[in-house]
Structures are given as C-alpha cells and as structure tokens.
Chain A
Amino acid sequence: MSDEKKLFKVTIDNITVEVQPGTTILNAARQIGGDIVPPAMCYYTSLKGSGGKCRTCLVKVAAGSAADPRPMPKLVASCRTNVMDGMVVENITNPSVLEARKGVVELLLINHPLDCPICDQAGECHLQDLSYEHGVESTRYEFNRRTFDKHDLGPYIQLHMTRCILCYRCVYVADQISNKRVHGVLDRGDHSEIATYIKQSLDNDFIGNVIDVCPVGALTDRTFRFKNRVWFTKPVDAHRDCPTCKGKVTLWLRGDEVLRSTARKDQWGEVSEWICNTCRFEKKKTSDWIIEGPTVVNRQSVIGQGHYVNITKPRETISDVMGGRPPKLLMDIHNVSGVNNVDLSEIPGPASGKTFEEDPHAFATNPTDRKKPELNSNHELE
C-alpha cells in the first residue's frame, strides 16, 4: 500500500527490528522479545500518560537516528522515548545501563518492607522479579524504613502503602478506567503516599482493576487475603455473561474452589481486558463460570515454577548478545540456590533446618548457617 507509513529500523542490543513510527523503544524491544526487553515497573500500555517514573527501563541511545547519529547524552526512559529511523539502542549490552538499573533497584528497595513472606503478591510480584534479576544480594541502607499504617479502601481493596513504589498506575486506572477517582498521591517526595484524601472507600464498578495493575503488593484483594500462596493455586481461563464487562477472567482455583478472580494478563503482565468488580469479587463459585482451560503462564515470578500446563518459557536472547551468558530467571531459583537439591516431596512433614543439614550442597551458599549445631538438637525435640 502506498499510503502506508515507512517503517523505522531500530537496533536494540545488536538485534534490528522494523517498527511503526511512533513506537517507543520499550515496545520495539518487546517486539524483539526475550532478555533485551527493559523491565517496566510503571509503564502500562493501556494507561495514557503512564511511564517515565520508575526509571527501571533506562537504556542508552548510542545513535539517535540515521540522520543524526549522535548519542543521547543521558540514559533515557525507553517507555517514553520514541524510536527514530536508524536508532541504535543499548540495553543489556551496556554496562552503564545495567549499573544505573542496579542503582534504581537498590533505591526502590531501601524503603520497601521486604515482607514477601506475608505478602499476597509474592510469587507474582514484579518487584521480586526485578530485584532478583537486576538487584544485588544485600542492601547498604542502614536506617529505619518508611512506614505507614495499612488501610482498607472499602470492602474489597487493601492498601499497604509501605510496599508501594509510586508507579501511579492505580491513579491512572481510577482516572481512565473507572468513572470516578477518589484516591491519588498526597504529599511529595519520599513522604508521598497513595491515599484517599479523607478516609473513603474506593467504590465503583471498575476500581478493582487497580489491584491488577499494581506491580507490587500495595493494593491487594481483600477477598483473597491470606487465602493461599499464588503458586499453590491453579489458574484457568474462564468467562461468564456479564452485563458490565466482557466477563473474561482468570480464575485461581484450589481443587474446585475459586480463590480469586483476576483480569487476564499478557506476557508483559498487563491486563488485556478490564473486568468489573462483580466478576472480580462476587463470583466465587465455579458454577458462575464457563471454564475454558488452563491459563498460559508466562514469565511471572515463581508461579512459573508450578507445574502448569502449557507453560511457555521465555525465548531468551541473552546468550546471543552476551556471549553465551545464561539468563537469571526467578523461576529457575531452585536450580540456582541449591536448596532444592533435596526433594521436598520425599520428606514426611514439613522440612526443617535438619533436612538441609544432611544435604552437603544445601548450604553451600551460606556457610554461616553451618555453624549452628544447636539447631539440630532443637529440631530433635520438635
């Protein structure tokens, strides 16, 4: 077709792709896929104005365009920078990008409570993924972390402000998806918080979607609270005839029990179709739904570790561009940590320190734990 716009050629980590003009670097990278895709904690394709805030998607533009091949002086947010024809971008091939990203991850974590063991989001948390893939093992932060009280924003949603990374996604959802926004960011700087101005509930048909867009466990579903760890639940695609939304959801089952219902997410963890509160919070019986089949679980934290049907492991480009270095994936944690050199299913009852003590590899990465013989005797008593 003659009126079709000329495609732009952009090279990201030595891989060239042709994209429509107006595409962001991030989306061009997503078209390539694999490891060269910068992590995005605040950008959300369907939310206008999102992105640019978390700074995890920073990349180096080594050449601005074919017409003007000068590099850009600073790292740019790939989610908010459009490609130009002939642009050359460096992500994982540029050490300064990785260093800056490591810095961002460290800064995102200094005030994070790291309460994953009691957080409902654990297992599908983007901050967990990000920290594991791009962060360092320990923190240099030696001060008290910022704290807030947790709030119930109405009967369905709970806010743990301590976990929030201020990505503003929930604010955009309330603005653009639901018909009324009663919450937003109060105050500024490191003391800013997501809140309703006067304690008020978030209440309208589509507000439940804030839970799905929240990359961390700051906004969680009260109807699912502490019910189960996500990796023990089984996701299936289901639909129902809903007068408010399209009624296409993912149900998270245990046996025949519906523990939770969420919108369906694509491979980047983004909701493809918003669902209404009724589908999300009210319909908790399998008889409410027509079940289509198992959900395809993508690279989503440790829930990928569950033995799901149809799991698609991501196509990794990292070994191509990094001279053979394999990717670090949280879903492969068991291969890395050595903890699971023990087959847990073989042990009667819960595993204890003793279980691992007997395994020569188990504590290979943490020698200090070996110096605790009293642990043994304690366990003997249990």
Chain B
Amino acid sequence: MGRKILIDKVHIEGIRFFDTYRKNGGYASLEKALKISPAEVVEEVKKSGLRGRGGAGFPTGLKWSFLAKPEGIQRYLVVNADESEPGTFKDRYLMEFIPHLLIEGMIVSSYALGANTAYIYIRGEYAWIIDILQKAIDEAKEQSFLGKNILGSGYDCEIFIHRGAGAYICGEETALLESLEGKRGNPRIKPPFPAVKGLWDCPTVVNNVETIAAVVPIINEGGDEYALIGIGKSTGTKLISACGNIKKPGVYEIDMTISVEEFIYSDEYCGGIPNGRRLKACIPGGSSVPILPANLLLKTAKGETRLMNYESLADGGFQSGSMMGSGGFIVLDEDQCIVRHTYTLARFYRHESCGQCSPCREGTGWMEKILLNIERGKGKMSDIDLLWDIQSKIEGNTICPLGDAAAWPVAAAIRHFRDEFEWHVQNPEECLRRNYGLAGYAEPLEAVIS
C-alpha cells in the first residue's frame, strides 16, 4: 500500500474550508517555514529531491536556486494550473478538493523565493475551481496566513488568480507569462529564462500545482524524510490521473516504487481492463509522451519490470521507452485503433499550436490531414514514411516543446504500430466499417495481482 501525503486528507468532510483544514494540521508548514530563513527552506526542497510535476521533471530546488536576485527588483512565483494536456487532470483534483494545500504551498514557496506576489494561472474551463480557490485565499487572509505581515513575521504575500482563455499553449511557461501580462500567448524565445527575465521582465519561478503542493509535506517532514519515499531520483509521491480502458479511472497518489503492471491491474489503483479485454497500449505520461505497446510497457527492453517512476518509464529512450510526463495515464485496450487515436492527438496539436514557428504551424496541420486520410482508408504506403519525415522535421526545430509534443506521439505510433498503419492502407473498406484496428500487439496477459 503506497504512502499518501498529498491527498491523504481529501476524504475528510469540510477539508475544503479553512477551519477543518487547519484542525487537520494545515498551515503547519508555513509556521515552521517562517521560523527559518528562506535559504533554509530552499535547502529543504533541494534535499527532498522533488522534481517538477508539470511534465519535464526538472529538479525544483535547483530551479529555485537559479532565480536571479538583483537588489530592489520584484520576484514572482507563478503557479501553472493551466492543465490542458489530454489525459491529465490531477491538478484539478488537488485544487478542487484540498485548495488550501496549494495556497499553503504557495505562501511557503513565495517566502522561500523572496516573492511578495504570487499568481495562479488557471485554465479558463476550470471556472468553478476559481471560486473554490478564491474562497481559500480569502479565508487564509482573514486568518492572517496571507496578506500583510503574515503571522507577525513581517513577511507580506498576496496571491492572485488569473483565468486563461482556453489555450493549451498557455501552459508552456513563457506563453503563460505572456498571457499573464495580457498579451497573446506566444512562447518566448529562450534564453533568457524566466528565472532571469520572467513576468514583467522580473525574475520568476513557474511551477506546477502539484510541485508547489508537495512543498508542504517537504517542510512538515523535512527534505531528507521526503527523499526516503520513492526510489532513486524519483522521490516522494506522484499523482497519476488514470483514464481510458480501465475499471477505475481517477486520480491516484502513488509512491514511485510500484510497477506499471500493479498500477494497471491491482484493485487499489486502476482495477484492470474492463469487459475481459486485453491491454494493447498505454500512454503513461499525458498525450505528449510516446505511446508504448503492452509488452514494452510492462517490461523494459532489457526484460526488467517497468516501474511507475521517472527513470524506469524513460528506460530505453524513445526507442523502447517513454516518459513520466505530467502523469496522465491513458490505457488502450485491444479494441482501440492506434491510427484513429494518433489522428485525434494530431488534431489536438494542430489546433493548439500557437503558429509562431513554421515547422510546428504547418507540420501539425499536414500530419493531421495525412492521418485522417489513412484512418479513412484513403492513405498510401508512402504516407507512412512521409509522416515519419514530417515529424522528424518538426522535432527539435521549434521554439517551444509543443512542436516536439506533436511529433513524438506520431513517431512512437509509427515506430511501434507500423503494421497497423499498413493494415489501414491495405484494407480501405474495412477501415470504414470497423471501428478499431489490429490487436496484434496485445499480449495475452492475465491480471497478475488479484
């Protein structure tokens, strides 16, 4: 049974409100942090080994220590709650059910960074969560945990919520900052990085909701203690939002020592695949990361058991591995068509590209059109190689990682399921008649854990 430290209290009635939250140990980390210096807080986070939960997995303590600290210039903390990656819905769960955890984490982190103003950039579609968060902010202010002279420490902090307008690209940190400044959400060209020139040209740290929430248990228990959870460089717990063909979709907190197989099949987590179907493939970290066929998902190419953590999921590189990403776990059973699935993703990226750089703007549209043709049985064999070539022309040649995120799913689908693409080309009529592709990759796996 994995340890829970983020969502262990969500079942408590009224935890959404200050009084209950406080009674259950809330805001203890803030009291603790204010007694030590900001640098010591940063040190704890460094010791914890916490890695960014927004997708890239960059060590948070390191990121914080890069923050430029010129005299007399404001610094900002911005929480990335844009959460628009298909398959990812963990931040929503945190904010909706235990909003004070984020607020507490934000105040502690702002203190550590020497920021007096923090922002939550939240995706526009989460309209009702804005109210929940605003209520939490108001409550914290009333209780003097937020605002001027917090708990008599002399430290001031304000938190503002900014609502996005429905663009995935505004989750990219520099596009987010542009949008927060009231401009068009185009990613900036880096360098300079936000840590040097971020919001209104001031040094800024952008972190994911879950990352900031994890600061609370880190300060409460100490960085070293937190680092004991998990394995290797994957310390602490991770929220996984599981969806697709599983019996129990939802948000799960895991410590990163369990195997992928256990996560899919055990009743504590996804509960296996419904209707007696077999596992075909899985996207383990949100739509941007490479899809893996069942055999490579459960075991690495070296034959080791694949675990739910940063290193193990990435084992084998893109040839035979994938990424932890943002923890959006999408499971596909044997009836799912990879081509259609890839088309759906390509369509998403085409629609969400900001259009600044030519490879991403034009390439995503082209890939979508070709994939639609193949899916409808109008494809040619040469289209498959063409797709491969287009994705390779996009990947690595763009301003922001959305270009890569659009290229990787296509590359991985062709790499692992090429014969399914070929089947579509060879069986045009059947493509239209039946709703699914080949199941050739499904391994006849029994549920191992009952």
Give A residues with C-beta under 8 Å from B.
51-56, 58, 74-75, 77, 80, 100, 103-104, 106-108, 110-111, 140-141, 143, 165-166, 168, 184-185, 187-192
A166-B366 contact, Cβ under 8 Å, with A77-B189, A103-B397, A188-B169:
no
Q: Quick check: A185 and B361 within 8 Å, CB to CB?
A: no
**Can you list, as one digit per residue, whether each of B377-402 has a CB less than 8 Å from chain A (1) or not (0)?**
00000000010011011001111000
B390 contacts across to A, CB distance below 8 A:
107
Counting CB contacts under 8 A, is B40 at the interface? no
B350 contacts across to A, CB distance below 8 A:
189-190
Partner-contacting stretch, out of B22-30, B55-63, B98-106, B351-359: B351-359
Q: Quick check: B361 and A54 within 8 Å, CB to CB?
A: no
- Docked pose: A166 CA to B390 CA in angstroms: 20
Q: Which residue of B lies closest to A189 (CB)?
A: B353
Q: Quick check: A100 and B393 within 8 Å, CB to CB?
A: yes
A106 contacts across to B, CB distance below 8 A:
393
A190-B397 contact, Cβ under 8 Å, with A77-B189, A104-B359:
no
Q: Quick check: A189 and B189 within 8 Å, CB to CB?
A: no
- Docked pose: A50 CA to B366 CA in angstroms: 26
- Docked pose: A185 CA to B364 CA in angstroms: 19
- Docked pose: A108 CA to B366 CA in angstroms: 11
Counting CB contacts under 8 A, is B363 at the interface? yes
B364 contacts across to A, CB distance below 8 A:
189-190
- Docked pose: A184 CA to B362 CA in angstroms: 19
A166 contacts across to B, CB distance below 8 A:
355-356, 358, 361
Main secondary structure of the interface of A (DSSP, over half): loop
Q: Which residue of B lies closest to A73 (CB)?
A: B396
Counting CB contacts under 8 A, is B124 at the interface? no
Q: Quick check: A111 and B353 within 8 Å, CB to CB?
A: no
B141 contacts across to A, CB distance below 8 A:
none
A74-B396 contact, Cβ under 8 Å, with A80-B189, A190-B350, A190-B355:
yes
Give B residues with C-beta under 8 Å from A.
167, 169, 184, 189, 350-359, 361-366, 369, 386, 389-390, 392-393, 396-399
B397 contacts across to A, CB distance below 8 A:
55, 58, 74-75, 100, 103-104
A188 contacts across to B, CB distance below 8 A:
167, 169, 352-355
Q: Which residue of B lies closest to A109 (CB)?
A: B362
- Docked pose: A111 CA to B355 CA in angstroms: 13
- Docked pose: A165 CA to B357 CA in angstroms: 9
Q: Quick check: A143 and B369 within 8 Å, CB to CB?
A: yes
B352 contacts across to A, CB distance below 8 A:
188-189
Q: Which residue of B lies closest to A52 (CB)?
A: B189
- Docked pose: A104 CA to B386 CA in angstroms: 15
A-B contact pairs, 25 of them (CB 8 A): A55-B397, A74-B396, A75-B397, A77-B189, A107-B359, A107-B361, A107-B362, A107-B393, A108-B358, A108-B362, A111-B365, A140-B386, A143-B369, A166-B355, A166-B358, A184-B184, A187-B355, A188-B354, A188-B355, A189-B352, A189-B353, A189-B355, A189-B361, A189-B365, A190-B365
Q: Which residue of B lies closest to A166 (CB)?
A: B355
Q: Quick check: B355 and A107 within 8 Å, CB to CB?
A: no
- Docked pose: A207 CA to B350 CA in angstroms: 32
A168 contacts across to B, CB distance below 8 A:
356
Q: Quick check: B398 and A55 within 8 Å, CB to CB?
A: yes
B362 contacts across to A, CB distance below 8 A:
107-108, 110-111, 190
- Which of B353, B389, B392, B393: most chain A Cβ within 10 A? B393
Kindly provide the distance from the CB of A382 to the nearest chain B CB, expressed in whole angstroms. Answer: 41
- Docked pose: A193 CA to B378 CA in angstroms: 30
- Which of B167, B353, B397: most chain A Cβ within 10 A? B397
A190 contacts across to B, CB distance below 8 A:
350, 353, 355, 361-362, 364-365
- Docked pose: A188 CA to B360 CA in angstroms: 11
A103 contacts across to B, CB distance below 8 A:
359, 389, 392-393, 397
- Docked pose: A21 CA to B386 CA in angstroms: 42
- Docked pose: A111 CA to B361 CA in angstroms: 11
Kindly provide the distance from the CB of B179 to the nearest chain A CB, expressed in whole angstroms. Answer: 12
Cross-interface CB contact of B355 among A110, A140, A185, cutoff 8 Å: A185
- Docked pose: A184 CA to B369 CA in angstroms: 27
Q: Which residue of A lies closest to B396 (CB)?
A: A74
Q: Quick check: A104 and B184 within 8 Å, CB to CB?
A: no
Q: Which residue of B lies closest to A171 (CB)?
A: B184
Cross-interface CB contact of A55 among B353, B355, B357, B366, cutoff 8 Å: B357
Kindly provide the distance from the CB of B123 to the nearest chain A CB, expressed in whole angstroms. Answer: 16
A104 contacts across to B, CB distance below 8 A:
358-359, 393, 397
A189-B351 contact, Cβ under 8 Å, with A75-B396, A80-B189, A103-B397:
yes
Q: Which residue of A lies closest to B189 (CB)?
A: A52
A53-B353 contact, Cβ under 8 Å, with A108-B358, A141-B366, A143-B369:
no
Starting from the known contacts A107-B361, A107-B393, A188-B352, 10 additional A-B residue pairs (CB-CB under 8 Å) come to A53-B358, A74-B397, A77-B189, A103-B389, A103-B392, A166-B361, A184-B184, A188-B355, A190-B362, A190-B364
A54-B396 contact, Cβ under 8 Å, with A80-B189, A190-B350:
no
Q: Quick check: B355 and A54 within 8 Å, CB to CB?
A: no
- Which of B354, B357, B389, B392: most chain A Cβ within 10 A? B357
A185-B357 contact, Cβ under 8 Å, with A52-B399, A58-B397, A74-B396:
no
- Docked pose: A189 CA to B363 CA in angstroms: 10
A52 contacts across to B, CB distance below 8 A:
189, 357, 399
A191 contacts across to B, CB distance below 8 A:
355
B354 contacts across to A, CB distance below 8 A:
188-189, 192
